[in-house]
Structure 1
Amino acid sequence: MSTPASHEFDGAALHLTGLRKRYGATVAVDGVDLRVPSGSFYGVVGPNGAGKTTTLSMATGLLRPDSGSALVHGIDVWREPLAAKRMIGNLADGVELFDRLTGEQLITYTGMLFSLPREVIAERTRDLLQLLDLEGSAGILVADYSAGMTKKIALACALIHSPRVVVLDEPFESVDPVSAANIRDILEGFVRSGGTVVVSSHSMDLVQRMCDHVAILARGRVLVAGTIDEVRGGASLEDRFLDLVGGRRHSEGPEWLRRS
């Protein structure tokens, strides 16, 4: 058995260095450097097309970068993918689930992929179904789930193996307010126990209330990163975001659209 390829560990749960990805003439990610401290609740925000999903996909082993490295607790995601992925719980945007399984079967199958003992899988599956209010839907095919239920079952699959780092791409999209509050409670408890959460979101208010660190991406680059207070600099996170990213049009719209 090979020894995991590790680098000098600096205490970061996730350390991205020089990540780049190009699709033809389009540069999706252009040299992203990011250090996520262990035990942090880290938000990643940016406009559409900023490179958030591409960056997180490369960071978690779903998409191979053209260059650069991604380390999870000092383990290189691309040199030792199995060792790294055992530490990652990943809810990726746009990745298809095995939706001809029931919710319970899907969580169980995911636990089996991580070679968990059957009794452990059964106990954790029960816990996750209860925590995410999916007990009544456990026997329904995932293909018949609503968008919000699908997001919650995907989150359950990301947590089943008790990862050290949870990476969530738009986890609250299509999720009702009660479920979103329950998910936040679960994630905050995970961080308090020493875990690390990285979450991308378009909701500046949510990130400001939930996260202790944030990075703002645009055009495939990190514009600024640090603690929430450092990044927003006394303003709201949304105002700081708009100042950095630009593109806001101060307009009431065309005359024909306004009611007299």
Structure 2
Amino acid sequence: MTSIGENVINIRNLQMSFGNKQVLKGINLDVGKGQIIGYIGPNGAGKSTTIKIILGLLEGYSGTVEIFGQDISEGDVQYKRKIGYVPEIAEIYDNLTAREYITFIGELYGLDAEEADTKAQKLMKILGIEQVYDTRITSYSKGMKQKVLIISSLLHNPDILFLDEPLSGLDANSVIVVKEIFAQLAAQGKTIFYSSHIMDVVEKISNRIVLINHGEIVADGSFDELRQKCMEGSLEQIFNQLTGFNEHQSLAREFVSIVEKEQ
């Protein structure tokens, strides 16, 4: 059992290249129990690569990645039973019903099929989609599929949860409920890695924000700490300052001028 304050993730000098392109250039990161980390950066900055390495989905990196004090390169994959993952683009088996899919995922994580089924039904009801439990997922809306993914990622009560745009497609009420679920999980000591392009959501739910740009960490701290350091008001403004993106106004003006231009 991980004690309070102990790190659950330790990353040292993590580097990764695809061909001649170096995607990660020496990531150093310690993540403690109960933290909600907003892991943000521009497209291609290395966010997904970092997470996929931690999940054991990518090999060929250099450096050290330890989960619960264990070096993942040693080949013992038992740590994966303590991890949940909601990918940005899910290859969900939508020819299955939610009952079939979630029970299958639960069994992969070592749950008994009956236990997984019982928990899934209760969680589906809380998120307002119990009426489609035995309906094929192919008929679901994007938001309903997202709820199924969130449920399947949490069914086995993981200690670390990786979330890539988890609120995508959810209605306003569901967003409020799911954000509160994340907050209560963190309060119970769960660690949450949260990646999103919606800066105001990251700003509100994260107690620590890690900004990666061009394969390197360029900022790490609470929102208030980053705001004091950068003298900016919002996370979006901080993001733009640290990543050097300051063309949004001129690009928007050009776009609008083309739209308004008479033929």
TM-score (norm 2): 0.88
Structure 2 CA distance for partners of 1:123 and 1:76, relative to 1, 3 Å: farther
> Does the 8 Å contact 1:87/1:164 carry over to 2?
yes
2:39: which partner in 1? 44
Q: State the one-letter code of the partner of 1:239.
A: Q
1:6: which partner in 2? none
Q: Distance in 1 between matches of 2:137 and 2:119?
A: 19
From 94, 112, 116, give the equivalent of 2:107: 112
Please identify, of 243-252 and 193-202, the stretch whose mean Cα deviation from structure 2 is larger: 243-252
Please identify, of 232-241 and 50-59, the stretch whose mean Cα deviation from structure 2 is larger: 232-241
Q: Distance in 2 between matches of 1:212 and 1:74?
A: 23
From 85, 88, 91, give the equivalent of 1:93: 88
2:147: which partner in 1? 152
Is 1:60 equivalent to 2:55 in the alignment? yes
Structure 2 CA distance for partners of 1:97 and 1:257, relative to 1, 3 Å: closer
User: Secondary structure of 1:171's match?
Assistant: coil
Q: State the one-letter code of the partner of 2:196.
A: S
Counterparts of 1:184-199 in structure 2, within 5 Å, are 184-199=179-194
> Does the 8 Å contact 2:99/2:117 carry over to 1?
no
5+ long unaligned stretches in structure 1? 1-9
Structure 2 CA distance for partners of 1:206 and 1:81, relative to 1, 3 Å: farther
Q: Distance in 1 between matches of 2:116 and 2:52?
A: 26
Is 1:225 equivalent to 2:220 in the alignment? yes
Is 1:246 equivalent to 2:244 in the alignment? yes
1:176: which partner in 2? 171
Report deviation, 1:182: 1.5
Structure 2 CA distance for partners of 1:228 and 1:81, relative to 1, 3 Å: farther
User: Secondary structure of 2:200's match?
Assistant: helix
1:237: which partner in 2? 235
Is 1:22 equivalent to 2:17 in the alignment? yes
User: Any idea what the Cα deviations from partners look like across 1:120-171, whole Å, max 9, x if unmatched?
Assistant: 2132112221233221221122233222222221111111111011111111
Please identify, of 189-198 and 73-82, the stretch whose mean Cα deviation from structure 2 is larger: 73-82
Report deviation, 1:258: 4.5
User: Secondary structure of 1:14's match?
Assistant: strand
5+ long unaligned stretches in structure 2? none
1:4: which partner in 2? none
Q: Distance in 2 between matches of 1:159 and 1:127?
A: 13
Q: State the one-letter code of the partner of 1:221.
A: E
Q: Which runs of 4+ in 1 moved over 4 A?
A: none
Q: Distance in 1 between matches of 2:144 and 2:10?
A: 31
Aligned residues, how many? 252
Q: Distance in 1 between matches of 2:60 and 2:137?
A: 31
The alignment-based identity, stated in percent, is 30
Structure 2 CA distance for partners of 1:256 and 1:39, relative to 1, 3 Å: closer
Report deviation, 1:65: 4.3
